[in-house]
Amino acid sequence: MTNGAQRHRVVIIGGGFGGLAAIEKLKGADVDITVIDRRNHHLFQPLLYQVATTSLSPSEIAWPIRMLVKHRPEVATVLGNVTGIDKAGQFVELEDGGRLPFDSLIIATGARHAYFGHDDWEPFAPGLKTLEDATAMRRRLLLAFEAAERETDPDKRRALLTFAIIGAGPTGVELAGAVIELARITLKNEFRSIHPEEARVILIEAGPRVLANFRESLSTYAKTALERLGVEVHLGQAVTDVTADTVTYGDQVLHAHTIIWAAGVLASPAAKW
């Protein structure tokens, strides 16, 4: 700051990896930084699947953004949902009517699930991006086993113990492995009427291989490893319909009480502001 003049104001929307990396890069710069996030925590998304499948608790993968920047006096934290940007006026607009002026703006709002024109599938096949998604998924997975324990109709019980994961990118592959381990290891011997280890975990992928963005040898390795764990990997069959308890792909209709979406992401709405 010179002669009491206001320092350059940098506003960063999003306290994820991108936002935190920007804060780190700006260390030592003659600026005041405000990071705005609609959640009070930074989330380590790569471990969300472990929260969803009970091997980690939410507090092990999330830290208050405020705490992460407490040693940086030039960084202020605002909890708020950004709904727009006034480029001419140089301020961001918050859902609660608040405004934050900026000289420079960094948008690091991440991505969200993409259902490729089938947003109506989302309630039946939720994805995994936030802590809320992970805890809801965990509840859904565990309740399926509980319901199966009390179900006497064999077809309904089979559907309750069938877990369909759509999309065999990194998230789908990790989830499939973790769900089968939940069934075969974590829950083994914990029920009396059902055998959780008999649960089916089916990984459905439209493309010809799992982990399509990786080397082909790694795709082959991952598929073999999943199959050894007991996951059924169905490749080259696009999903054409999803309902509350069915997934249609190729020429078959799979009855599955739990359906998980891991098939695609889309830039956050900020891209259109």
Ligand X SMILES: Cc1cc2nc3c(=O)[nH]c(=O)nc-3n(C[C@H](O)[C@H](O)[C@H](O)COP(=O)(O)OP(=O)(O)OC[C@H]3O[C@@H](n4cnc5c(N)ncnc54)[C@H](O)[C@@H]3O)c2cc1C
Binding site for ligand X (CB under 6 A): 13-19, 36-39, 45-46, 48-49, 81-82, 108-110, 128-129, 170-171, 268
- Say which residues have a Cβ less than 8 Å from residue 1's Cβ, sequence separation at least 6: 7, 30
Instruction: Please identify, using beta-carbon distances, which residue of 80 and 250 lies nearer to ligand X.
Output: 80
Give just the sign of the alpha carbon dihedral 215, 49, 113, 41. Answer: negative
Residue 78's alpha-carbon distances to 14, 35, 39, 205, in angstroms, are: 10, 6, 9, 40
Smallest distance from the beta carbon of 40 to ligand X, in angstroms? 10
Smallest distance from the beta carbon of 248 to ligand X, in angstroms? 25
Instruction: Please identify, using beta-carbon distances, which residue of 41 and 223 lies nearer to ligand X.
Output: 41
Instruction: Please identify, using beta-carbon distances, which residue of 77 and 162 lies nearer to ligand X.
Output: 77
Smallest distance from the beta carbon of 49 to ligand X, in angstroms? 6
Smallest distance from the beta carbon of 15 to ligand X, in angstroms? 5
Instruction: Please identify, using beta-carbon distances, which residue of 36 and 148 lies nearer to ligand X.
Output: 36
Residue 169 identity:
G
What DSSP designation does 5 have? Answer: P
The active-site residue, picked from 93, 151, 174, 181, is 174
Smallest distance from the beta carbon of 183 to ligand X, in angstroms? 20
Instruction: Please identify, using beta-carbon distances, which residue of 110 and 167 lies nearer to ligand X.
Output: 110
Strand duo 200-204 + 162-166: pairing:
parallel
Residue 79's alpha-carbon distances to 7, 33, 120, 129, 136, in angstroms, are: 22, 14, 30, 19, 23
Which regions of 104-211 does DSSP assign to beta strands (E)?
104-107, 111-113, 162-166, 200-204
The distance between the two most distant Cα atoms of the chain, rounded to a whole number of Å, is 79
**Helix (H), strand (E) at residue 240:** strand 239-242
151 among known catalytic residues: no
Active site residues: 174
